[in-house]
Structure 1
């Protein structure tokens, strides 16, 4: 009986050891040069609620998430989702032919109350400078890590115009441009185009729609100034002319669109020492 028990124990141990041994081995000594990060886009959002509510919604049963959350007071960056995993932040989305950007993007939520509608019109909340500095630092780190193209650092409204407004016209995109993170219209060329559009007839709606689609927006191509076209125009204006983003197809917007879609019309600055900080990684 003792011999039988020992034989059974030995057989069990052998079986368990066999199960623990991989059925095959993979040679990982050859690494292809033909690859890049799955992360192709970086999307900025505002939460429209305070920090405590934002953290709860983004980490529990709210059906939404983001890779990072940047608080406002005190300013601090929280990582909520590993960059190698998909967070649920973009939803139905489109940019320059790419769709459903959750699978190819990193999302940053910025704590900000968003907007309130008043009798005088919609009013958007500003961003504290320290929070903007934190976002710039975070964007620089992520973009460098994944080699994200500057023209693919976008707002939620860019990839879902009309459906989303964040990060809104109060977000200082120009500071990201000054930090060398995103391209910006060449000011000299823009001044020339503005002068031109002061004297020539305003292009038709089909021209505006074609230019907006060329930028990357999902835009109707009907030649009609419908609600969807106005929403895309307003989104474009939020970034490049935030003081007037009513969605009107005026000469100043035409000049901006002309420069943005002209080869060489968008310039990306080299980050200066003033825009590069030496803080420890988040």
Structure 2
């Protein structure tokens, strides 16, 4: 009898193995049930559709403490002086990419709200602005840190297919509340490395059409351009404080030499150049990656 039971168990095991072999690796035993994964739907995309940049306003030790013990988090923290292992900079990963991090808060970009659910957040160790007797001073971004940010961002953008216009700063998605990553953040260096958007100088000059860069721009026209690019901004032609904050956030990203929030011709031309470059084929959409 014992031999008979052993033979039955062996036969059952052989049958199970044979079925698994026939199905390849599609049968996933998840404890309470088995999932057959041999068929794959075509109508899918990634949950991750945006990459959001921040600064911490704290040093590395305090940044780690806050991001791991308080009600705020990010997927990655890039030190201002990353240590090197095997010739590569080391960054802190604090939240798995498959999980939501609490880094964006109340936010909106290109019609998507609450970007925590659809983004990767990168916090960067940087003290941000300091008000001094001679005015506001922003901390510089060390080359080693910029290199680490570029390496990390390129990997994320490539893996998730994030379009250039969806690589943004916290100030872009929450301009009424935030100024990070600030006017010195190396957006142009990221663009040159293949991450994010940037206007072509020749197109900006063409869009200026002979206007002086500091000439006044028509407020409603600029509002429409910024809204189409992705900002949460009214399109009523009123230059109120909320609109100024949006314009300032845009300037901080693409024209950091002057981010006063004044609607001037150069700002208008930069906005149009970005639309021409990234959204001309499909108006209102994010454009394709380059």
TM range, normalised to the smaller chain?
0.7 to 0.9
Stretches of structure 2 that go unaligned for 5 or more consecutive residues are 1-29, 84-89, 281-286
- Listed as ranges, the matches of 1:119-134 within 5 Å are 119-134=133-148
1:140-161 Cα shifts (integer Å, max 9, x gaps):
1111111212211111111000
SS in 2 for 1:197: coil
Q: Deviations over 1:112-147 (max 9, x none)?
A: 001012344322111001100100000011111112
TM-score by length of 2: 0.80
The two structures have a TM-score, normalised by structure 1, of 0.82
**Aligned residue pair count:** 250
CA apart distance, 1:253: 1.1
| CA–CA distance in structure 1, aligned partners of residues 217 and 234 of structure 2 | 16
Give the superposition deviation at 1:25. Answer: 3.0
Distance 1:189 1:114 in 2: 32
Decide which of 159, 163, 168 is 1:145's aligned counterpart. Answer: 159
* CA offset digits 1:202-248 (Å, max 9, x no partner): 43211121111111100122311111111111111111111111111
Does the aligned pair in 1 maintain the 2:214–2:264 contact within 8 Å? no
Partner of 1:82: 96
Aligned pairs (5 A) from 1:118-267: 118-198=132-212, 202-262=216-276
Return 5+ residue gaps in structure 1 as ranges.
1-20, 271-282
Say whether residues 1:57 and 2:66 are aligned partners.
yes
Q: Is the 8 A contact 2:214 2:266 kept in 1?
A: no
Rounded to whole Å, the distance in 1 between the matches of 2:34 and 2:289 is 48
* TM-aligned CA deviation for residue 187 of structure 1: 1.5
Aligned-residue CA RMSD (Å): 2.5
CA contact (8 A) 1:180 1:268 kept: no
Tell me the SS of whatever aligns to 1:116: strand
